[in-house]
Amino acid sequence: MGRRRRGVMSESLKYELAKELGFYDTVQSEGWGGIKAKDAGNMVKRAIELAEEAMARGNR
């Protein structure tokens, strides 16, 4: 029995970031496999920035 690995980012966050970064249309038409590696990297970078901002707000 295989165990399914749970993603770190929720689906809703991934879609939100795709919209913010301008490649949501590609995801809609081609799926996540259709995005460029650069776009995927930018999505991860933005998610990290958001997490760091949330942590900074929590430490005040």
Number of domain units in the chain: 1
Residue 43 included in any domain: yes
Q: What's the predicted TM-score (pTM) here?
A: 0.78
**Range(s) of the domain holding residue 50:** 11-58
Residue 38 included in any domain: yes
> 29 with 20: CB under 8 angstroms?
no
pLDDT of residue 43: 96
Phi-psi domain of 25 (left: phi exceeds 0; alpha: psi -120 through 50; beta: other): alpha
Other Cβ atoms less than 10 A from the Cβ of 34: the count is 13
Please tell me the distance from the alpha carbon of residue 60 to that of residue 46, in angstroms, as a whole number: 22
The per-residue pLDDT for range 1-49, each reduced to its tens digit, is: 555 666 778 999 999 999 999 999 999 999 999 999 999 999 999 999 9
> 42 with 21: CB under 8 angstroms?
yes
Residue 6 included in any domain: no
Residue 1 included in any domain: no
